[in-house]
């Protein structure tokens, strides 16, 4: 990750405040209306965030995240079905008043940020937490929460017809984690592009450059020519990685362009994702 601990926590704090303003300005009646996230009302989106943020905060506090531990135990060693787990979290909170759900999220997000700031330096850089798809480094756990806040904040905003929040750091962090997860995402789709790499160059809010190996654990040499190229608007790739738009749309619009091995680049866009 190219961000320092201080920079990442600052970006997370800013995004927590950004989602807080979305909550503040959304009409009260909107929480009982459908969000842009299929199958969930706006209150469900916030219930989902509250539950996962509290679980993440428990992990940073060296506590057992009870709901996650219980669900994992019920599976008898099988991999976690993340959608089923999220449905469980939302359904458990379905009887709460929307104001209570929103208060729970704010407190959980603040606790997560407090515990991230309080972690010893060694824990920040070396400690791993048992998260949804397995063990994850603490910086990536926090990065994943920023991504969830931004993506689901956009779901809420779309549901109440508020304009999008186009901010550099959440968009950058969404693209960054999605690119880092490419070996996992491609393997999940049955693709094994060992020895290949992609160059991604993005502009606008969230922009940056990445040369990334597509095989697990592979790091391409600096002077190695990438096999595939993707360039264009950072927001467009973030929405694709967030599974909010189909990858064909920004290609058709010209907001994303592919080069080199175009079939490989399009496969990357088809399967890239910023969360498990």
Residue at 276 is within a domain? no
The tokens describing 78, both together, are 């099988």
Q: Which of 165, 184, 208 is the last residue of a domain?
A: 165
Residue at 87 is within a domain? yes
| CATH code for the domain in which residue 206 is found | 3.30.1050.10
- For the stretch 164-219, pLDDT in tens is 999 999 999 999 999 999 999 999 999 989 999 999 999 999 999 999 999 999 99
Q: Is 59 exposed, middle or buried (0-12, 13-18, 19+ CB in 10 A)?
A: buried
> Which pLDDT does position 35 carry in this prediction?
87
Same structural domain for residues 161 and 186? no
Alpha carbons 260 and 72: distance in angstroms, whole number: 42
Same structural domain for residues 93 and 179? no
Does residue 246 carry a pLDDT above 60?
yes
**Average of per-residue pLDDT across 136-142:** 96
Residue at 224 is within a domain? yes
Cα-only R_g, the chain: 19
- pLDDT band at residue 2 using 50, 70 and 90 as cut-offs: confident
Same structural domain for residues 200 and 264? yes
Residue at 44 is within a domain? yes
- For the stretch 56-108, pLDDT in tens is 999 999 999 999 999 999 998 888 999 999 999 999 999 999 999 999 999 99
Residue at 170 is within a domain? no
Same structural domain for residues 66 and 100? yes
> Which pLDDT does position 171 carry in this prediction?
98
Q: Which of 117, 135, 165 is the last residue of a domain?
A: 165
**Average of per-residue pLDDT across 30-56:** 93
Same structural domain for residues 58 and 131? yes
**What spatial distance separates the first Cα and last Cα of the chain, rounded to whole Å?**
18
> Which pLDDT does position 176 carry in this prediction?
98
Count of structural domains, the chain:
2
**Distance of CA 141 to CAs 60, 74, 148, 176, 204, Å?**
9, 23, 11, 13, 25
Same structural domain for residues 124 and 249? no
> Which pLDDT does position 37 carry in this prediction?
85
Neighbours of 126 (CB within 10 A): 10
**Average of per-residue pLDDT across 218-227:** 93
Residue at 189 is within a domain? yes
Same structural domain for residues 60 and 150? yes
Same structural domain for residues 203 and 231? yes
> Which pLDDT does position 1 carry in this prediction?
53
Residue at 56 is within a domain? yes
Residue at 65 is within a domain? yes
| CATH code for the domain in which residue 40 is found | 1.20.120.450
- For the stretch 145-168, pLDDT in tens is 999 999 999 999 998 889 999 999
Nearest to 212 by CA among 78, 224, 57: 224
Q: Which of 118, 139, 165 is the last residue of a domain?
A: 165
Same structural domain for residues 133 and 67? yes
Same structural domain for residues 118 and 247? no
Same structural domain for residues 9 and 101? yes
Domain that holds residue 202: 175-271
Same structural domain for residues 153 and 183? no
- For the stretch 252-268, pLDDT in tens is 999 999 999 999 999 99
């Amino acid at each position: 990750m190219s961000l320092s601990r201080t920079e990442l926590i600052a970006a997370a704090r800013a995004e927590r405040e950004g989602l807080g303003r979305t909550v503040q300005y959304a009409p009260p009646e909107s929480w009982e209306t459908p969000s842009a996230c299929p199958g969930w009302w706006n209150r469900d989106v916030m219930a989902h965030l509250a539950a996962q943020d509290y679980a993440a905060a428990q992990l940073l506090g060296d506590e057992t995240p009870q709901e996650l531990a219980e669900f994992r135990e019920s599976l008898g060693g099988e991999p976690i079905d993340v959608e089923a787990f999220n449905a469980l979290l939302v359904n458990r909170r379905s009887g709460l008043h929307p104001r209570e759900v929103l208060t729970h999220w704010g407190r959980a997000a603040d606790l997560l940020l407090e515990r991230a700031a309080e972690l010893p330096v060694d824990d920040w850089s070396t400690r791993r937490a048992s998260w949804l798809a397995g063990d994850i480094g603490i910086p990536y756990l926090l990065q994943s929460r920023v991504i969830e806040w931004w993506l689901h904040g956009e779901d809420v905003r779309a549901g109440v017809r508020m304009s999008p929040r186009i901010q550099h750091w959440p968009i950058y962090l969404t693209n960054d984690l999605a690119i880092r997860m490419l070996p996992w995402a491609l393997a999940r789709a049955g693709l094994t592009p060992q020895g290949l790499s992609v160059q991604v160059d993005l502009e606008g809010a969230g922009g940056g450059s990445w040369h990334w190996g597509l095989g697990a654990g592979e790091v391409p040499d600096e002077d190695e020519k990438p096999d595939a190229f993707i360039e264009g608007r950072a927001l467009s790739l973030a929405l694709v990685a967030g599974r909010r738009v189909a990858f064909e749309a920004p290609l058709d619009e010209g907001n994303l362009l592919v080069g080199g091995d175009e079939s490989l680049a399009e496969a990357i866009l088809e399967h890239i994702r910023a969360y498990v």
